[in-house]
Amino acid sequence: MPIYEYRCGQCEKHFDANQSVHARTEDTLCPHCNAQSATRLLSACTTQVKGTRKTGFAEMKAYSMLDERMDKFAKLPPLMGKRAAPSESPASDPTTGGTIEN
């Protein structure tokens, strides 16, 4: 339940109240003078993380999944196969269009 900050319209004192989100401001009683003339104030919001979540856990899991996938890809055969070595043919002369002989 959220904590709301109020100011009493009758005694002008400030107080906090644990209330449901659906609680109406008009129904709030001042703890000092028991008047129903409280005004809800805008105050700073705070949050607190509870639990055992470690920071960076999602990143560590993503990297481990990437490593697993890369290991699986390394075991696959190459897509195009190995490149054949060039054959031993005589070199051609680009100016004459023929082969060069010694």
Domain map of the chain by residue range? 3-41
Indicate the pTM of the whole model: 0.42
Between 78 and 29, residue with greater pLDDT: 29
User: Up-side HSE of residue 100: CA atoms within 13 Å toward CB?
Assistant: 5
pLDDT value for 95: 58
Q: Please determine, for residue 97, whether its predicted confidence score (pLDDT) is greater than 60.
A: no
Q: Please determine, for residue 25, whether its predicted confidence score (pLDDT) is greater than 70.
A: yes
Q: What percent of the chain has pLDDT over 90?
A: 13
Query: What mean pLDDT is reported for the chain?
Result: 78
The b-or-e profile of 81-94 (16+ CB within 10 A means b, else e) is: eeeeeeeeeeeeee
pLDDT tens digit sequence for 48-76: 666 666 657 777 888 888 888 888 887 77
